[in-house]
Structure 1
Amino acid sequence: MKRQLLALVTVVVAWFASVNLAHAETYEFKADVDYTVLKAPIKAAEAKGPYLLEYFWLGCPHCRAMNPMVKQFESANPKVSVVRRPGLGNDRWVFDAHVYYALQAMGKSSLVYDLMDYYHQLASEEQRLPDLADVKAYMTKQGIDAQKFEKAMDDDATLDKLSVAYRDQQALGLKGVPVFIVNGKYQLRFDGFAGVKDPAARFTALVEYLLKQK
């Protein structure tokens, strides 16, 4: 997984550096090559129609590198819900999962991209990730009540969402992020992204292909 993601990140960076030179490509997608059909579907009750589910971590550089692709897809496909669930692993990941669900509870999910940039900035400039004081200061700058935010991090709704995320993560056998799942049935694989001229177009084409599958 890590080797595939590193290769994909390299491709993504190269693509954004030469986006004006990209040419249209045609794709043929195959099960067990471009995607995996899940034995047990992963439901997303919050999605009212077709959806793309992403497991991620706020401090993940691979997830951050994928953000432009996800944003581009989301903008071009307003009828498809993009649902995010934080990966749960060590204590750091659990803390950041609380942060994400509190952000969601405050109705500020759209700030996730900016928040990931903030995590990246601290990691690059200070070689650390934000603690609770940093997070509360960030929220205050965004016009969010820091005390209400901290309370939301540990309320019952957040704990329920964490429980669902963990249950489905265990069912998936998830060992790393990002992971993308279409309509709860098809998990994207990154093997076929190496060497493509336009990885964002391939990403969109693969998701749209899987959305059409019955």
Structure 2
Amino acid sequence: MISISKRAFVVLTFIFLSGIASAQGQKIEEGFDYRVLPVPQPVETKGKVEVIEFFWYGCPHCYDFEPELSAWVKRQPKDVVFRRVPVAFRDDFLPHSQLYYALEAMGKGDALNEKVMYAMHKENKRLLTEPEIADWVASQGVDRNTFLATYRSFAVVAKARAAKQLAETYRIDGVPTIVMQGKYVTSPSIAGTKARAIAVMDYLEEKIRKDKYK
């Protein structure tokens, strides 16, 4: 009985792994795994692969996708330019966009972005009012007055509003959404899974290179 069970386990394991390999090897197709914008948008850096993640701090799907996306970004070569654009689908979400650009302006983005999301999704902090945001940032060892001056600055407010306009230009209707080279759009919801979305991003990256960054 033991030998039969072992044999059955081996067979089932082989079938399971074969299924995974088959799923990973599925052809990536336009219209199913990604879509092409009808009007491509200009990229900021020529001769590079431009990758934009449209996200919102308060989005649970963005928080869920963050580990896979961060790992993908870390393994990219120098010809890949990655940036995030915060999306405010409502005006009362604009403080989140200001928070993002204020932290970026202070050189604190890389250190605190994931902590902002953790605070919102695991500690139930909304971070929607200026006092609440300033209190939280100060709790992370950042000078409160310096942060508020940056948060209220014309440059940061202008960037937050420009990001909202950019999301509308790209017709972003959900997050997280990845746009590559100003025209290829994918996401875990479009591709079906987080792993599939990463595979699509790898595919599009190579396609953009083959097309000489067009």
What is the TM-score with the length of structure 2 in the denominator? 0.75
* C-alpha separation in 2, matches of 1:48 and 1:155: 33
Shift of 1:97: 0.7
How many residues end up aligned between the 2 structures? Answer: 184
User: 2:67 and 2:46 mapped to 1: Cα distance?
Assistant: 21
Equivalent residue number for residue 70 of structure 2: 71
Q: SS at 1:54's partner residue?
A: strand
Distance 1:144 1:46 in 2: 32
Letter in 2 for 1:66: F
Aligned partners of 1:99 and 1:153 also within 8 Å: yes
Match of 1:208 among 202, 209, 214: 202
Would you say 1:121 and 2:118 are equivalent positions?
no
The whole-number CA distance in structure 2 between the counterparts of 1:49 and 1:108 is 25
1:187 matches 2:185: yes
Identify the residue that residue 102 of structure 1 maps to in structure 2.
102
Q: 8 Å contact 1:51–1:82 — kept in the other structure? A: yes
Q: How big is the shift at 1:88?
A: 1.9
Amino acid at match of 1:160: A
* Residue 141 (str. 1) matches residue 139 (str. 2): yes
Give the % identical residues: 27
- Cα distance per residue 1:127-170 (max 9 Å; x no partner): x5123333223222333222121121221221332243222222
- C-alpha RMSD of the superposition: 2.4
Rounded Cα–Cα distance in structure 2 between residues aligned with 1:103 and 1:150: 11
- Partners of 1:90 and 1:140 lie apart in 2 by 26
Deviations 1:176-203 (A, max 9, x none): 2111111221000534425xxxx43x33
Give CA deviations for 1:55-113 in whole Å, capped at 9, x if unaligned. 11111111101101111101221532321111122233111111111011111121211
User: What does residue 112 of structure 1 align with?
Assistant: 113
Describe how 1:24-39 pairs up with structure 2 within 5 A.
Answer: 24=21, 25-39=24-38
Unaligned runs of 5+ in 2: 1-18
2:102–2:156: 8 Å Cα contact kept in structure 1?
yes
Measured in 1, the distance between the counterparts of 2:148 and 2:45 equals 23
Distance 1:44 1:144 in 2: 33
Which ranges in structure 1 are unaligned for 5 or more consecutive residues? 1-21
Question: Structure 1 residues 134, 48: CA separation in 2 closer, same or farther (over 3 Å shift)?
Answer: farther
Partner of 1:87: 87
SS at match of 2:123: helix
Identify if the C-alpha distance between structure 1 residues 99 and 159 changes in structure 2 by more than 3 Å, giving closer, same or farther. Answer: same
> If the length of structure 1 is used for normalisation, what is the TM-score?
0.75
> Which structure 1 residue ranges, 4+ long, deviate > 6 Å from structure 2?
none
The answer to whether 1:54 aligns with 2:58 is no
* 8 A contact 1:47–1:83 mirrored in 2: no
2:38, 2:20 → 1: CA distance? 36
Greater relative CO, 1 or 2 (CA 8 Å, sep 6+): 1
Is the CA contact (8 Å cut-off) linking 2:88 and 2:94 kept in structure 1? Answer: yes
Moved more, 98-107 or 161-170: 161-170
Q: Secondary structure in 1 aligned to 2:64? A: helix
